[in-house]
Amino acid sequence: MELVWRFLLGGAIVSAFALVGDVVRPKRFAGLFSAAPSVALATLALTVAKDGPLVSSIEARSMVLSSVGFIFYAYTVQRVLASGRSPAIWVSMAALTIWALVALTAGVLLTWSRA
């Protein structure tokens, strides 16, 4: 049942921010909402309800590091798409490896610093 709530809340918040991004102009301003903390809000709210604020605070700390990966990801996508040579879907999917590399490094550092 908890997973159903996660799915519904996550889907609703992501859709709400995406809807805002659809209707605002100019495009660069609309792009701000592509980086909205939608999954974070849903996840942190549910973690607070289930495990308390201290556990969700640990999640937020990890998020700070992986957000750096998001910035590298979006910057790479922007630079490659601006050339106009490659389709958006391929560029944005392939660049996920950049986010994954930063998140993996952050995960190793966090685990290592805890040990």
Partner 1 sequence: MIPTVDVGALRQAHWYQFLVRFVLGGAVTVGTGLVARHWGPLIGGLFLSFPAIFPASASLLEQHQTEKKQRAGICCRRRGRKAAALDAAGAVLGGCGLIVFGLVAWFGLPALAPGGALLLAATTWLVVAISLWWIRHARG
Interface of this chain with partner 1, residues 24 to 43, rule: CB under 8 A: 24-43
115 is an interface residue for partner 1 by CB under 8 A: no
101 is an interface residue for partner 1 by CB under 8 A: no
Question: What is the SS3 string spanning 48-103?
Answer: HHHHCHHHHHHHHHHHHHHHHHHHHHHHHHHHHHHCCCCCHHHHHHHCHHHHHHHH
Choose, by CB under 8 A, the member of 64, 97, 101, 112 that binds partner 1: 64
1 is an interface residue for partner 1 by CB under 8 A: no
Angle between helices 96-114 and 53-82 in degrees, nearest 10: 150
Shortest Å, Cβ 45 to partner 1: 6
Shortest Å, Cβ 40 to partner 1: 4
